[in-house]
Amino acid sequence: MPRRKGLVKDMGDKRKVHGERRKESMERNLPGFFEAAASVDNVYAGVSFLLRFYGFYESLADGGRVLAEEPHEIWQTVCRTVKENFLEGFDGRRREEAVCTLMGLRRTVTDKMQVLTAYTDSFSLYEYMLNRVEPRFEENLCCPEDDAAAREILQYIFAEKDNLLVNIRIQQMLSQLPVRMSRGKFEELVRAGFEHYAGMDVSSVEEFVDRIESSAGLYEPAGMRQYFPELGEGLAAMREKDWKNMGEDDCKSTGEQFRELTKQLEEITDQYYSLMELVNPLCAWLLNYPYASAESAARMEVFFPLFRLICERALAGEYSILSGQEAELVAGTEGILEEFGPKLTKLQSVLSGFDEETEKTVEALMLAKQYSCIKSSALLLGNSLFADLDRCREEKQADRDYLKKAADNLVEKLLAAFSGQQAVHNRAMTAAVLSQLPVFFNSHNEVMDYVRGSLAGCHEVAEKAAGIRMMRELMRA
């Protein structure tokens, strides 16, 4: 059939007109959208920061938290940033310098938290080991019969119909029951875990590998040998213990040393984590402050007296619980996050739908800086506290060759670690890895067989009793 040239031309004209109208609509609406987004971010970030800021100050005032040197410096920097940028009048250059400073603090805290997380993973393995050695020296140690314990555990696993909850309980079981598994079977299960990621983004596979290496205590971030040397020395001491032949006195002193080290680890981790909870919303607030509406700015200025009071006391090193009148300002935040949370979600949803054409219009309207601030704020106020704001890479699918290489590398690392460790350490590592793999059981019967086989195959009473004891603690939680 011959082409209807008039119709083709008419359709082309309509598309052209539609495209021009869309562009005109964007040019007309984008400035208003960006102001609305900045205004919502301004209030949401500001109030989120205020609540964290007040809570952090109170924890110092009541003696519940004593800061180490670097966390104290970061806290002081946060206080100065608030004072100089919100309480002493707005200055564009000072704001840019403050944003750079906060971004630097984010990198510092992230680096330290990566090291602390690696220590947490490694110490978790020694906690597993210690829990299984300490019962050797208990008087009248009682271990339930295998069948009774298996029924109890299986009833817990399958008590719910929700498959997700069942899988979580299976992973709990794998992390605690005695491990009796050949190297070949373990390698097979690790390799099978990669099959779940066939056709998925490479980043998903990388996250899986990171999770396995972390749980196995194999992740060593930059700075691991530099930061927190007392933790490194303590970890090395744990590694040198003779866990198989450990006597009662050595077990007791090892337990005391372990608990002291993990207490230090928890305290310093809490400090850096809490500081990141301050830095993120403060940075988002600072990014959006100059672009927000006058109404949005005024809504935050109501709380400036409280900010001023906390900053003055903290920078002077004077901490005391705020009085009822002073604390009433905190009560004024009630309902604000609930009001602005849905608005934030809606605006971020629109933002995530921006295509290349929209971004070109943003550039043409000279809104690129504002757009960058709003995009960064979406990450700063998101669910991932340590989100990489600079991360930008093209995703590609993981094919079979990529998965095989990734599996080969991971298995090689795991087996190399096994060859240089004590047997009880290998069991701890195996249990930790198994608990991170996609659930590999295909039926209820396979789970039942594993539980019964795990208990029957363990001939060390202390280890078996410890595994059942830890499972019972999880059941009661």
Three-state SS across the chain? CCCCHHHHHHHHHHHHHHHHHHHHHHHHHHHHHHHHHHHHHHHHHHHHHHHHHHHHHHHHHCCCCCCCHHHHHHHHHHHHHHHHHHHCCCCHHHHHHHHHHHHHHHHHHHHHHHHHHHHHHHHHHHHHHHHHHHHHHCCCCCCCCHHHHHHHHHHHHCCCCCHHHHHHHHHHHHHHCCCCCCHHHHHHHHHHHHHCCCCCEHHHHHHHHHHHHHHCCCCCCCCCCCCCHHHHHHHHHHHHCCCCCCCHHHHHHHHHHHHHHHHHHHHHHHHHHHHHHHHHHHHHHHHHHHHCCHHHHHHHHCCHHHHHHHHHHHHHCCCCCCCHHHHHHHHCCCCHHHHHHHHHHHHHHHHHCCCHHHHHHHHHCCCHHHHHHHHHHHHHCCCCCCCCCCCCCCCCECCHHHHHHHHHHHHHHHHHHHHCCCHHHHHHHHHHHHCCCCCCCCCHHHHHHHHHHHHHCCCCHHHHHHHHHHHHHHHHC
Give residue-wise pLDDT tens across range 454-472. Answer: 999 999 999 999 999 999 9
| Structural contact between residues 369 and 92, judged by C-beta atoms closer than 8 angstroms | no
- Nearest alpha carbon to residue 221 among 117, 312, 128, 144: 117
pLDDT bin (cut points 50, 70, 90) of residue 195 is: very high
User: Per-residue pLDDT for 14 more than 60?
Assistant: no
Tokens read off for 416: 């190399």
The least confident of 50-59, 105-114, 320-329, 417-426 is 320-329
pLDDT at res. 361: 87
pLDDT at res. 8: 47
User: Per-residue pLDDT for 248 more than 90?
Assistant: yes
User: Per-residue pLDDT for 328 more than 90?
Assistant: no
* Averaged confidence pLDDT in the chain: 91
Give residue-wise pLDDT tens across range 340-374. Answer: 999 999 998 988 888 888 888 888 888 889 999 99
User: Per-residue pLDDT for 3 more than 80?
Assistant: no
The least confident of 28-32, 105-109, 296-300 is 28-32
Alpha-carbon torsion (213, 263, 178, 439), positive or negative: negative
Phi, psi angle pair for 395, to nearest 5°: -80, 145
pLDDT at res. 104: 97
Alpha-carbon span 423 to 243, nearest angstrom: 9
The least confident of 144-158, 203-217, 361-375 is 361-375
pLDDT at res. 4: 52
Tell how far CA 131 is from the center of its chain: 26
Dihedral angle of Cα 341, 345, 382, 124, to the nearest 10 degrees: 80
Alpha-carbon span 42 to 344, nearest angstrom: 10
pLDDT at res. 31: 87
pLDDT at res. 393: 55
pLDDT at res. 11: 44
Tell how far CA 412 is from the center of its chain: 27
Name beta bridge partners: 201. Answer: 397
User: Per-residue pLDDT for 22 more than 80?
Assistant: no
Q: Supply the pTM of this predicted model.
A: 0.89
With pLDDT > 90 as the criterion, what percentage of the chain qualifies?
Answer: 80
With pLDDT > 70 as the criterion, what percentage of the chain qualifies?
Answer: 94
Which one-letter amino acid corresponds to residue 115?
V
pLDDT bin (cut points 50, 70, 90) of residue 326 is: confident
Q: What distance, in Å, lies between the first and last C-alpha atoms of the chain? A: 74
Give residue-wise pLDDT tens across range 262-275. Answer: 999 999 999 999 99
Name beta bridge partners: 397. Answer: 201
pLDDT at res. 100: 97
User: Per-residue pLDDT for 133 more than 70?
Assistant: yes
pLDDT at res. 25: 65
Alpha-carbon span 296 to 43, nearest angstrom: 6
